Structure formats: structure tokens, C-alpha cells
Amino acid sequence: MRKRMIIRLFLISALIVAAGSCAKISAPSGGRRDKTPPVVIKSTPLNLTKNFKGKKIEVDFDEYVVLDNINDKFMVSPPMKKKPRVVTRGKGVVIEFDEKLKDSTTYTFYFLDAIRDLNEGNILQNFQFVISTGPVIDSLSVTGNIYNANNLEVPEKTQVSLYRELADSAVEKHLPEYITRLDPTGYFRIDNIRPGIYKLFGLKDADNSKTYNSPDEEFAFMDSTILINSQKNYIPPPVIPKDTVPEKKTTGKNKTVVKDTTTVKKAPVPDLIGDYRLFLFKANKKLHYLMSSKRDLKYHFTYILSLPPDSMNFEFSIPGTDKSSYFEEPNYNRDTLMVWLTDSSLYSKPLINTNIKYPFTDSLGVVGYKLDTVAMRFATPRVSKAPSKAKKKGLAIESNIQSGNLKPGQTIVFKSKTPFAQPDTTHIRMYDITQTTKKSIPYQFAKDSLLSTKYYLKSKVELGKKYFFLADSASWGDIYGMRTDSIGIKFAIKDPESYGKITFTIKNYVGPRIIQLLDKSEKLIAQVPMKEDGKVTFNLLEVGIYRARVIYDLNGDGKWTTGDFSKHRQPEPVSYYYQELDLKPGWVLTEQLWDISVKNFKDPKLREPKKTK
């Protein structure tokens, strides 16, 4: 009997466990990833509302959304003096503003790519909300492109502005009538404009003022006014299907929610090529002043002026200190002055007051001298109390023979971060190691005429031979007592035949121009000025990928000249050879035909791709 009871209880328990297993709810195994951006399901008021009098806009989506970098991406056209507040609320976005809107004006609220869904981060691209405070929605538009003037790349974070006021001072003092942001391809489009004559500008707005109020800001302008009328870039009015009636529903106290059923159809934009092209530049400085000063090492000061002093002086002194305690090194243009302190009792001080005298432009535009007292501070890095077993670093020097090869005719250069002391030539040798037995050869050292941190080594080296430079430990040093470790470098004068060569045939332009050869990152390799069409050859080129640029030297000064809005002078045009050139070892690329009749040309394939964030 007892045995039967145990078996019965066991069977009942098994049935209960089995039933529980059948009823167990499992989590779904997953599904396709959501790739759809948020969709607007309703808004208050309706998008494209006329005679708007409110101070709040609510837009609801079909899912929860987040705002990405909204302070930088959100814009209102025409701009408001005080930027509206934009927040998320539930599945919606709310725009609130206290400022009274202008009468009979169409406002466009641009979100760019700031709206994304919460879970997957899918972006709602270029979302706009449009209202009008009058009985009409302005429906005209203007399109264009903006590029950096000197390299034709797409500038980042660039605004585009339209002004009805045609005086030059308007862009410096007043907010624009219409505004938008350049997209990552360099294209822009401003919609919902009323007809009229305008001035068009581009601006990298450094202080978020929406105005060109500093010559240090990058700027672009059209040479002439533009006419915006219904003959160009007309946006058709919104289409509301006949069988669709906007659904109204009252919720709460006098609050009407309108479901947005309108569809805005905009003119297609073929290949993102706009009607107007602008070129962004930074104007040359015109005022004399001290730009910066720093003490990056305890014994090193640097002072930088906004402009070269030309015929005027740039003077330095330390009150109560003899001039033998330091020496000065101006750069070639004399707009930068470096000072090296040589007295340890002086440079051990954490604070040193210095006097500088330099050209300065006053509020009336008169250039005279200004005497400034500049405090130069240096905080000595804290030293760990624990004893260090690390080897003390010696003086590090660099040379152009580290790669093991020297071009024919190239001078050997040694550089240091601190001023060189006189090298001990009794412990420095040069050998010819072409044969099995090395042979000592003579050499000379020459100090750079401007920089104490640079030395040249002059020796008669020949093509096809191998050499060995040997400097014993401590044979090089700086004026602060740092010494080098031993240095040994083998090198050879490379055969010219092992280098590459590129020859361009330039045609179809009248006037001076500068032909530049660039590497893939557009660092300048070499340049040749030309006065007329013809051939230009670049020799002794390393293996690699090259680009070429032409500067249209309109003023004939031998360099690229930036723009000047006060003189209505555009920056000098440039153009690029249509493709990159891949130079292999020993290759000669001749007869590269280059028609430079078209200014400001750069194939889009040569532009650096911009990532949207």
C-alpha cells in the first residue's frame, strides 16, 4: 500500500512539471532589425500652417526619439534673436519660443539629422517644419555649393545666409533674413523665400552670432546680388488628396490636435549642383597686435605678432637682467620671436616678467608702438618620490639621412628641439664604405643662419657610393648640458634613374600661374611658376601617389592670395588635375595633358569624404 502511494505521488508530480513546461512563456528569439526612421503622425499646428500666432510647436512620431547634438544642428530661418528651446516629450519633439515672430513671414525650422529613434538610432534626415505668420507660405528657394577656396574641399559647420539689405555692413551687424547649413557634400538649399533681390554669403560662425563680425572667421560672398523669383527653384504648394480630410480631435481644455496629412513635394536636386558657387576664405589680418605668448619650456619663450613688423621693430627685454642671460631668434618674417634663457638662476624662476615692444594698431587705425609687460609662468612638473630606475633620456636629434638614402645634391641636416652647443668633431667621423675597407672622408659643420636648433653637414659625397656617419656618445649636445647617445647611420646617394618623373603639358590659359605637385594628403612637394602655356617637369620623385594643383596667380606675386570682402576681392582661383598619379619605381610619366581653362575645378573623387555625426 505504501509503495502504491509513493508511485502515485511521483506520477502526479511528473504531470504537474510537464504541464508547467507546456505553459511556460519564452522570450521571442529576435527579428529583423528596425531600419526605418521615425515617422511624423501628427503635429500641433499642422506643418505649413498659415496665420500662426502661437509660441509652441509639437510634433509627434510613431516611436520614441532622441535629439542628437541639437544645439549645433537646429536652426531657424529667418533667425531669431533668442534661439528656441527644443526638447523631447514622450514620442514627440516640442519647440518653444518667447520671441514675437515677424508679421507676414514664413519660418522654417531645420533639424538636419538631429532626430533619431531611441532604440536603433535611425536618422530622420533633413526634417523641416514650416509655418507662416501671414496668409501666404513663401515658396521660392535658392541653391548652391560652397567649397574652401584654397583646396576646394567641403568646409565643415558652415552656414549660408541671405540678406535683403544690400549694404556690405548688413552681414557684419544684422541677422540674415534666411539661413541654412551646408550639407556634407558642399550643397545647400534655402526654401520658403519671398521674391526679391538678395545678397548671398557663407560663414564659419566662430561665435554663433550669425554675423561676419571678425576677420578671423572664414567667409564667402557673391560678387553681385541675386534675383529670386518664380522663374527659378519654385516649390509647388502642398498637395492634400481630395479624399483625405485632416482629422481633428479635441483633447483637454481647448487643445486641438491636428493629424498631419499633407505632403510637401520639392523640386528634385540633380547631382546636388546648385545655381551659385561660393568659395570660403580667411582674410589676411590687417591690424597689428600681439596674438599670443607662451613659455612651453622653463628656458624658452615664444611671442607671435598678428603681422610682420616690416620696417618697425619687435623688441624684447627682461627688467633688471643682463642681455647676456638670454638670446633672441626671430623667424624669417620677424612676426615670431623666440627667446632662449641661458642663466639657470633666471630660468629656474616660476614667474618671469618680460617687456616687449611691438607695432600696434589703435582704435583709430593708427599704427604705433605698444610696450607690454607679459608675465611668463612655468610650473615645474612634479617628481615622484619613488626612486626611478629608468635611464635618463639624452638629447634627441633628427636628420634627413635616417631613411638611408639621400637625393643627389641634397644637403645633410641635423635638428634638435633645443639650441645646439658646438659639436665635438674629434668624436664625429664620416666614412666611405663602398669598398670592404672603410675610408675616412673630410666634412664640415655649418650652423643655420637663423635657428640655433639646426646644423648642416657638408661633405663631398658621390653618386653610387655608400657612406657611414658615426658620432660617439656625447659628441653632440645642447646649451643646457644634454648630450646625445652614440649615433651611427649608413646611407647612400640614390641613383637618379631610380626616382620617378612627372611632366605636365599646360594649355589654354593666358596669364601667370603656379603649378604645384602635392602628395596624396595634399602636402606641397614642389612648385614651378609659369607665365605662359608649356611643359613643366618634376624630377627626383619618390614612389607614391601624387596630385597636382594650379594657382591662377592673378596679381603675379608668386603665391596664392586670399580674399578681402572690404575690397570686394575674391580669393585667387585654383584647379586640380583631374586624377591622382600613381608613380612606380623608376617610372617616367610624360605628356600629362592638362587643360587649365576651367577655374576652381576639382573632381569629386579627389575630395575627402565627410562623415555625418
Residues belonging to the chain: 613
Give start-end residues of each CATH 2.60.40.3710 domain in the chain.
397-494
Place of cell 518653444: 96
Element (H, E) at 42: strand 40-44
The β-bridge relationship of strands 140-148 and 159-163 is unpaired
Q: Which residues of 181-211 are buried (b: 16+ CB within 10 A; e: fewer)?
A: bbbeebbbbbbbbbeeebbbbbbbbeeeebb
Domain range 397-494, its CATH number among 3.40.50.360, 3.60.10.10, 3.40.50.2300, 2.60.40.3710: 2.60.40.3710
Cα dihedral 596/601/605/609 (nearest 10): 150
Residue 497 sits at φ, ψ, to 5 deg, of -70, -20
In angstroms, rounded to a whole number, what is the distance separating the alpha carbons of residues 581 and 144? 30
- Decide: 469 and 444 in contact? Cβ < 8 Å: no
In angstroms, rounded to a whole number, what is the distance separating the alpha carbons of residues 427 and 444? 13
Element (H, E) at 300: strand 300-305
In angstroms, rounded to a whole number, what is the distance separating the alpha carbons of residues 203 and 218? 6
Cα dihedral 469/474/477/482 (nearest 10): 140
pTM, 2 dp: 0.81
CA 62 from centre of chain: 37
Domain spanning 40-132: CATH 2.60.40.1220: yes
Cα dihedral 249/255/259/260 (nearest 10): 150
- Decide: 132 and 105 in contact? Cβ < 8 Å: yes
In angstroms, rounded to a whole number, what is the distance separating the alpha carbons of residues 521 and 280? 20
Give start-end residues of each CATH 2.60.40.10 domain in the chain.
498-606
In angstroms, rounded to a whole number, what is the distance separating the alpha carbons of residues 200 and 224? 9
Give start-end residues of each CATH 2.60.40.1220 domain in the chain.
40-132
In angstroms, rounded to a whole number, what is the distance separating the alpha carbons of residues 95 and 163? 25
In angstroms, rounded to a whole number, what is the distance separating the alpha carbons of residues 221 and 517? 29
Cα dihedral 154/158/160/166 (nearest 10): -110
Cβ-based neighbour number of residue 593 at 10 Å: 9
Cβ-based neighbour number of residue 51 at 10 Å: 12
In angstroms, rounded to a whole number, what is the distance separating the alpha carbons of residues 535 and 503? 7
3-state SS string for 545-575: EEEEEEEECCCCCCCCCCCEHHHCECCCCEE
The confidence score (pLDDT) of residue 231 equals 77
DSSP state of 379: P
Cell of 510: 593666358
Which residues on neighbouring strands pair with residue 367, listed in sequence order? Answer: 361
- pLDDT averaged over 10-residue windows placed end to end, the chain, 613 residues: 50 48 44 81 95 95 95 91 93 94 94 91 92 94 96 95 96 94 92 95 93 94 94 52 39 41 37 88 96 96 96 95 95 95 95 97 95 94 62 82 84 95 94 92 93 94 91 94 92 88 97 98 97 96 96 97 97 97 90 95 86 49
In angstroms, rounded to a whole number, what is the distance separating the alpha carbons of residues 485 and 392? 11
Q: Taken in order 282, 285, 290, 294, is the CA torsion positive or negative? A: positive
CATH number at 498-606: 2.60.40.10
Cell of 354: 618680460
The confidence score (pLDDT) of residue 9 equals 47
3-state class (DSSP) for residue 9: helix
3-state class (DSSP) for residue 98: coil
End-to-end Cα spacing for the chain: 78
Cell of 23: 505553459
In angstroms, rounded to a whole number, what is the distance separating the alpha carbons of residues 395 and 397? 6
The confidence score (pLDDT) of residue 53 equals 94
The confidence score (pLDDT) of residue 383 equals 64
Domain range 290-377, its CATH number among 3.30.1120, 2.60.40, 3.30.70, 1.10.260: 2.60.40
